[in-house]
Structure 1
Amino acid sequence: MRNRHFRRTARTSVLGTAALLAALTLTACQGDDQAAADSAPAPSAPSEQPSDSPKAPADQQKDSTGSDADSGSASGSDSVSSSGSTHAEPAAQKPKGTAKDTGADSGPVTRACDGGNTKVTITAVTRPINHMLLTVTNTGSKACNAYYHPFLAFGEAQAVPPVYEESKPQAVVTLSPGQSAYAGVMTSSADGSGEGGYSTKDLTVSFQNRQGSGSTGPSSNVPLAKPVYVDSTLKVTYWQATMTEALTY
C-alpha cells in the first residue's frame, strides 16, 4: 500500500516537472520570436505614383531655364525657339566690296555708268585757273558705277587726255539714281607752256568698263556754252564723290 502511494507520488512529481519544463520552453520561444520581430526591418512604403501614371503638365516639365526637360538638345543647323517655331540659321552675308587704292570695285557686279543712264554737263570754274568741272548724274532707275576716269574728246582730238594718277580714289564711286560724281579738267596751262592749242565747242565723254580695259555703253555729247581752248597740257581727274575733291588737282 505504501509502495503504491509512493509510485503515484513519484509519477505526479515527474509529470509536474515535465509540464514545468514545457512551459518554460514555450515562454523562451515566444521571447525569441518577439525579439526577432522587433529587429526585422520595417516594410518599405509604396511608391507615390505607379509607373503608368500620366505625365505632369507641360509647364511643370520645364527646368529653371524655361526649356522642356525631356526635349533634349537640338541637332542640325536649325534652332527651335520657345514658341516651337523653327528658324534657319541666317545665310552668311558677303562683305560689301570696295577696292582700295585701285579705283575699281571688287564687290557685286553693278552696271557701269554710261551715256545711256546718265546726264553729263561741264561748267567753267574760277579756281583753279583754266579748269572746268565735269558732272555726271545717274538718270536711270538702278545704281551705276563711275569706273576710273572719263575719256574726253574735245573737237577732233584723236587721243584722250592723260589722268592725274594722284587723284585715284580708294574705291569706285557708286551712284544711286539721282546722285552725281565729278571730275576736274585742266584745259590748258596757265603760263602758256602748252602746245598745239585750239578752240572747240564740241565735247564727247565716254565711260570705262569694270575691267578698265576700254569704254562701255554709249558716249555722251556734251554741249558747250562757248568755245573752250585746250592745248597739250589737257588733263583730267578720276571720278570723285565731291566737287571739292575733283577740283583739288
Structure 2
Amino acid sequence: MQIRHRRSAARVRAAAATLTTALSLTALGAVPAAAGTPTAKPVTCTAATTKVTVQKVQRPLNHLLLTATNTGSKPCYAYNAPFLRFDEDQSSTTVLRDSVPQAVVTLEPGQSAYAAIGTESPEGTHGYRAHRLGVLFSNRAMDGSVGGWARPKLPAGGVYVDSSAFVTYWQTNPADALMW
C-alpha cells in the first residue's frame, strides 16, 4: 500500500509540474492560447491609443526622453522612430538610423516605449527656443505616418533646438534610448 501511495504522490507532483510549466509558457506567449480563448491582435500605435509625454533628463546633456504608453485595450506596435516637429513650422527632426532595435517594439496595454531626442550639439546651427512638439507614429514601412498628432508638453520655458537635433527609434527601456 505504501508503494502505491508513493507512486500516486509522484504522479501528482509530475502532473502539477507539467501544468505549471504549460501555464507559465502560455503566459509568456511561448505556447498558443487554448482554442476558443480570444487573443487581441496587435494594432499600430497611434496618438489615439497612447499617451505621449516628454521630459528633460540629467544625462546625457541636451537630451529629452519621449515616452509612449499604450492606453488602448489591444497590444500595439511602435514601428521604427517617431516623426517629430518642433513648433510645427520647422522641418522634421532627423532619425538616428544607428539606433534601430533588434525587433519591433510591441506594447501590451499599460506598457511604454521610449525614444531619445537630442536637441543640440556644438556642430549645430540655426538654433531657436521651441515651445511646442508634435509627434506622429510611423507606419510599418516608415514611408508615412498613422493617426493624428500627439502634442506632449515640453519643459517649462521651452527647449533650445538646433540643426543637429535627432530622434532615436523606439526602444523597450529608457536606458537603451538614452545611450545615443
Alignment TM-score > 0.5, same fold: yes
RMSD: 1.8
Q: Secondary structure at 1:244's aligned position in 2? A: helix
Counting aligned pairs with the same residue, the percent is 50
**Which residue of structure 2 lines up, in the alignment, with residue 117 of structure 1?**
49
- Amino acid paired to 1:150: P
List per-residue Cα deviations over 1:215-235 (Å, max 9, x = no partner): 001220111232111000000
Taking CA–CA contacts closer than 8 Å with sequence separation of 6 or more, which of the two structures ends up with the larger relative contact order? 2
Partner residue of 1:195 out of 102, 115, 125: 125
**Which residue of structure 1 lines up, in the alignment, with residue 6 of structure 2?**
none
1:91-240 equivalences under 5 Å are 110-189=42-121, 191=122, 193-226=123-156, 227-240=158-171
List per-residue Cα deviations over 1:162-186 (Å, max 9, x = no partner): 1221110111000000000000110
Q: Secondary structure at 2:176's aligned position in 1? A: helix
After superposing on structure 2, the runs of 4+ consecutive aligned residues of structure 1 that deviate more than 2 Å are 156-159
Residues 95 and 166, structure 2, Cα contact 8 Å, conserved in 1 = yes
- Amino acid paired to 2:151: N
Q: Distance in 1 between matches of 2:174 and 2:101?
A: 13
Aligned residues between the structures: 142
Higher-Rg structure is: 1
1:8-157 equivalences under 5 Å are 110-157=42-89
Residues 127 and 162, structure 2, Cα contact 8 Å, conserved in 1 = yes
Q: Which runs of 5+ in 2 are unaligned?
A: 1-29, 32-40
Q: Distance in 1 between matches of 2:130 and 2:94?
A: 19
TM, length-normalised to structure 2? 0.74
Q: Secondary structure at 1:222's aligned position in 2? A: coil
